[in-house]
Structure 1
Amino acid sequence: MISRDNYKQSIKQYQPKKKLFTNCVKAFVIGGLICVVGQLLTFMYMNLFDFTAKQAGNPTVTTLILLAALLTGFGVYDKLGQFAGAGSAVPVTGFANSITSAALEHRSEGIVLGVATNMFKLAGSVIVFGTVAAYIVGMIRYAVQQFLL
């Protein structure tokens, strides 16, 4: 009988080498480029529509979500994700990609039971976690302001 350590040693030669540094650089560059696109969109909304930086935030996020959903629908975002790894999971675009992917995967089951139901399986847990985390952080901030300042 082969022990666990012997097994790990024997299969090591068949496993692909991990390129940790290269993967980190690709994730950093692609994630940074997605953020640069977001900043350029903010500047565009500020200059074209005379928005303030705060007012340009919502249309920027909406545009990034739309772009990520379209790129997911055309299969481009998945290829970008395979190349960039975690860099493509920048919060807004990564979340839009995951929801759009779920919707596309289950579209054969119909709009309500396929697309809508499966699309929000992922979104629901993220929204709940975000809401709970925001509540906890808000309560901590309130306590700090009231009792320590």
Structure 2
Amino acid sequence: MDMTNQDYGKYVNAKSKPSPCWKNCAWAFCVGGLICVLGQGLLNLYQYFDLEKDDAAAAVSVTLIFLAALLTGLGIFDNIAKHAGAGTLVPITGFANAVVSPALEFKSEGLVMGVAAKMFVIAGPVLVFGISASVVYGIILILLGVG
């Protein structure tokens, strides 16, 4: 049976279950908002314990990274992400998950060749692009006399 790409596309669309777009958006919004509320609550808590705002913000980042990494290691983060989708991709928690997940997947290959080598498989390109883009942006600002 020969099918064209258009025929195959129509066949797949006919068999595919429609995505509940509004439900997914609502879940992503609520879970992402809850992560942000947790971050703000931690910021307020750390400031209450006499940390300066910048130090408290750093402590919040470290805490959220730790919690996301811990939940990923326990298999809980993936269950949350299954229902919340993009809501768990609030940058700092999503990044922590992107670093820990491949490391866990390859832990059977050993500490160095498994965990350490595979830790940045997903996050590595993001880091390279982010650092490169910031360098280019900085050079542009210097050339324009803004920086």
Q: TM-score w.r.t. structure 2 length?
A: 0.88
SS at match of 2:15: coil
Matching of residue 33 in structure 1 with residue 73 in structure 2: no
2:62 maps to a residue whose letter is: T
Structure 1 residues not aligned, in runs of 5+? none
Q: TM-score w.r.t. structure 1 length?
A: 0.87
When residues 20 and 111 of structure 1 are mapped into structure 2, their CA distance, relative to the original with a 3 A threshold, is same
Q: Which residue of 1 aligns with 2:95?
A: 95
When residues 46 and 22 of structure 1 are mapped into structure 2, their CA distance, relative to the original with a 3 A threshold, is same
Range that drifts further, 6-15 or 29-38? 6-15
Structure 2 distance, partners of 1:134, 1:11, is: 42
Q: How does 1:111-130 map to 2 (within 5 A)?
A: 111-130=111-130
Structure 2 residues not aligned, in runs of 5+? none
Structure 1 distance, partners of 2:117, 2:131, is: 20
Q: Deviations over 1:36-58 (max 9, x none)?
A: 1111111111002x112212111
Structure 1 distance, partners of 2:5, 2:130, is: 40
Q: Which residue of 2 aligns with 1:7?
A: 8
Q: Which residue of 2 aligns with 1:135?
A: 135
**Superposed CA RMSD:** 1.7
Q: State percent identity of aligned pairs.
A: 43
Q: Which residue of 1 aligns with 2:70?
A: 70
